[in-house]
Structure 1
């Protein structure tokens, strides 16, 4: 009986220790949903040699998963729609773009300032339509890139209110993109099947681009609000054609953070 009681006591403390270890293995998930509104400047020499400027509306969704290690994972969805005019006011362009990115980041510094850096995969799909053209009325966008990024977060208190300033930047290292060649029509590509280097390898030199955002999180009535600024610069020069999309956006959204604990029996 004494041996059985002792065994039960040892088993109880072993299970208690295991449960405590399990409770400590928490996964923290942070989600941010934001809307951006601002100014955009577009150029696509396949459609026009002129720059078109106008307004852009963008939806941004970001989910960051942490599991207690130095490595975190981030999933980003962005979708935008824009309408632009040329300088003479006699031509319009309408564009839309969806992009998806999956990043893995490594914690470099964790003091009051937290710094992470990493790499990921980013893909995008969209179009640009020129209402003035009779030939070459639209351009399709399709690309996939390996990207690098850096994130810095600084929590602080102001008037006894918790806040966090956050800056992040991402830029493509290289990948593949679709592009017609100079003087080539979509009819030649898809109806006649005339391939002319339309899937193009890209590098930081042919697609010098940068997407960065600076945000501030603060709590209002138990809701964490995010305000910020996004600067998205997408550029390419391939197949004798030049493209750019420069966007400056004001961001507003809501941030939620929760944890998941797995209990192993």
Structure 2
């Protein structure tokens, strides 16, 4: 009799576990997308162009998408960033100016830990590609410096939901640090004409890691409802420093951002019509 009862309990447990897993997979996952615009201060130095630090302001546009994947029984999310920023800076004496523009795309995967019903801890890695330039209006022979790189980043995130007198607010902090990658850099004093026209390109594509490059991106956001919309306000701090081929680069930015968030399910037809609810990777 005891054996029969034990087998019955085990059978019921396995059935409920399978049903829960099936519901988790069948319940659709939404895409959390946010587009933000912002402005802030920039501090830029590139010794290929000038030994001085140039400071000023810049504009930024940021698009982010997050969605759960099937990996590890729907415990891993995918995050995509598209970032565009443009900065205008001047030297300390205000006798010369420079323009800088950067575009980067990153794709990351994070495993979700749920230590509390209102708290998510995410850890993982991301692959990031960046292309940009710094143009100095004072230089004649070498007026511009190009930036191109691909990095493998370590990434971690904490998302916390709280109620402020029945007003819901979702806070998020994310940090990313480049671990290793490849980057492009001319040698000090070497012109781009030598590299691309004369073929003197030895050592301009090199391995980067913590020994010659350090960077960190801190991203803090708050989501809150305003009428029928969800607003996301954020602060992004980016620090970037390299020392390669006799050239030191230093790019620091502080951006304050604001924009809209939307959640949507990326399928249609009969499956969508039968769906009354969805799971969110973010909230």
Calculate the TM-score normalised by the size of structure 2: 0.83
Residue 109 of structure 1: aligned partner: 114
Residue 97 of structure 2: aligned partner: 92
Residue 131 of structure 1: aligned partner: 137
Q: CA deviation at 1:113?
A: 1.3
Q: Deviations over 1:171-230 (max 9, x none)?
A: 111100000012211111011111230001000231110011111110000111011211
**Superposition map of 1:147-162 within 5 A:** 147-162=153-168
Residue 4 of structure 1: aligned partner: none
How many positions carry a matched residue from both structures? 247
Q: Distance in 1 between matches of 2:234 and 2:129?
A: 24
Q: CA deviation at 1:25?
A: 3.0
Q: Distance in 1 between matches of 2:251 and 2:266?
A: 39
Name the SS for the 2:265 alignment partner.
Answer: strand
Calculate the TM-score normalised by the size of structure 1: 0.88
Residue 27 of structure 1: aligned partner: 29
Q: Is the 8 A contact 2:24 2:74 kept in 1?
A: no
Q: Distance in 2 between matches of 1:31 and 1:110?
A: 25
Aligned-residue CA RMSD (Å): 2.0
- Displaced runs of 4+ in structure 1, greater than 6 A? none
Which of the pair is proportionally richer in strand?
1
Q: Is the 8 A contact 1:32 1:63 kept in 2?
A: yes
Name the SS for the 2:195 alignment partner.
Answer: helix
**2:246 alignment partner, one of 228, 240, 244:** 240
Q: CA deviation at 1:258?
A: 2.6
Query: Is 1:179 paired with 2:189?
Result: no
**Superposition map of 1:148-227 within 5 A:** 148-227=154-233
**Superposition map of 1:50-69 within 5 A:** 50-67=52-69, 69=74
